[in-house]
């Protein structure tokens, strides 16, 4: 089974990759389209040169690999994807061959977290528009997309992960609740910049507190993302 997990940045996505990676029966891959995205857009991201050198830059090559041999010949293959990487020219047909899951988070939390690492995020940066479009694409193929809210995972990691596993058709393992401190061997090269907090963790953080205040200059981004979040939230498990 191949699980494509679609989320924007700052969305519990790395912790969830660690959870699946700690099962023992699940291979993982970290943002395989990142180098292709940077090469195609020319965007200046932290560690751009290192990222371009670490992955294939041809998106068709990446897509072929995602449907190819599973690393370690394991029965499950968890693919962590950033929705903002799926720009025009990045193939989507391969998505029909995997189980697509959409990891959502309230945009106020995403914006507040992202702004700490990279100033002035735009709607394109945080991936809500692209996530909603990919969800509708999966629906158009007659597939039922699976939606899970990171807030619910934080509230009840064991219960929500067990429900997620049941929904996608794989057995739940309590090994998903913890992982070794210090990162995962399959982390992308960019982990040194972005993954500090999760590197220092050994499990999911506790329930989230009240929504953070979003600065006035980022209110337009929040207001544009909110209806997309609410639309996807209506389908969550």
In tens digits, the chain (237 residues) has pLDDT values of: 999 999 998 899 999 999 999 999 999 999 999 999 999 999 998 899 999 999 999 999 999 999 999 999 999 999 999 999 999 999 999 999 999 999 999 999 999 888 776 678 899 989 999 999 999 999 999 998 899 999 999 999 999 999 999 999 999 999 999 999 999 999 999 998 888 889 999 999 999 999 999 999 999 999 999 999 999 999 999
Cβ 70 vs Cβ 118: under 8 Å: no
Q: What is the torsional sign of CA 133, 97, 153, 19?
A: negative
C-alpha distance across the termini of the chain, in Å: 20
Beta bridge partners of 77: 2, 27
**Number of other residues whose CB lies within 10 A of the CB of residue 162:** 16
Question: Does the CA dihedral 140-40-106-26 come out positive or negative?
Answer: positive
Token look-up 């690492």 returns: 117
152 CB-near residues (< 8 Å, 6+ apart): 160, 236
Strands laid side by side in the 99-104 sheet? 26-30, 76-82, 2-7, 99-104, 146-149
pLDDT value for 120: 82
Residue 40 phi, psi dihedral angles, 5° rounding: -80, -30
What domains lie within the chain, and their CATH numbers?
A: 2-233 (3.40.50.300)
How confident is the model at residue 101, as a pLDDT?
98
What is the CA angle 126-83-140, rounded to 5? 125
In this prediction, residue 118 carries a pLDDT of 67
- Alpha-carbon distance of 31 to 62, in angstroms, equals 10
Going by C-alpha positions, the residue among 147, 125, 4 that lies closest to residue 62 is 4
* Residues 77/125, Cβ–Cβ less than 8 Å: no
Widest CA span in the chain: 50
Phi-psi region of 232 (alpha: psi -120 to 50; beta: other; left: phi over 0): alpha
Radius of gyration of the chain (CA): 17
For the segment 140-178, what is each residue's pLDDT rounded down to a tens digit?
999 988 999 999 999 999 999 999 999 999 999 999 999
């Amino acid at each position: 089974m191949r699980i494509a997990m679609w989320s924007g940045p700052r969305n519990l996505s790395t912790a969830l990759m660690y959870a699946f990676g700690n099962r023992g029966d699940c291979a993982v891959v970290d943002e395989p389209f990142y180098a292709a995205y940077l090469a195609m857009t020319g965007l200046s991201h932290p560690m751009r040169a290192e990222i371009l050198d670490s992955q294939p830059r041809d998106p068709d090559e990446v897509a072929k690999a995602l449907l190819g041999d599973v690393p370690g010949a394991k029965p499950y293959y968890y693919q962590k994807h950033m929705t903002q990487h799926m720009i025009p020219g990045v193939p989507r047909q391969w998505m029909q061959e995997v189980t697509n899951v959409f990891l959502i988070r309230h945009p106020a939390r995403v914006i507040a977290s992202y702004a700490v690492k990279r100033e002035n995020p735009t709607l394109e940066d945080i991936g809500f528009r692209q996530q909603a479009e990919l969800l509708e694409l999966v629906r158009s193929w007659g597939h039922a997309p699976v939606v899970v809210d990171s807030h619910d995972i934080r509230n009840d990691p064991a219960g929500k992960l067990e429900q997620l596993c049941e929904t996608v058709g794989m057995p739940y393992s309590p090994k998903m609740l913890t992982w070794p401190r210090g990162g995962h061997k399959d982390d992308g090269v960019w982990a040194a910049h972005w993954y500090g907090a999760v590197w220092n963790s050994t499990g999911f953080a506790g329930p989230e507190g009240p929504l953070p205040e979003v600065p006035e200059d980022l209110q337009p981004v929040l207001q544009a993302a909110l209806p997309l979040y609410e639309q996807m939230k209506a389908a969550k498990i």
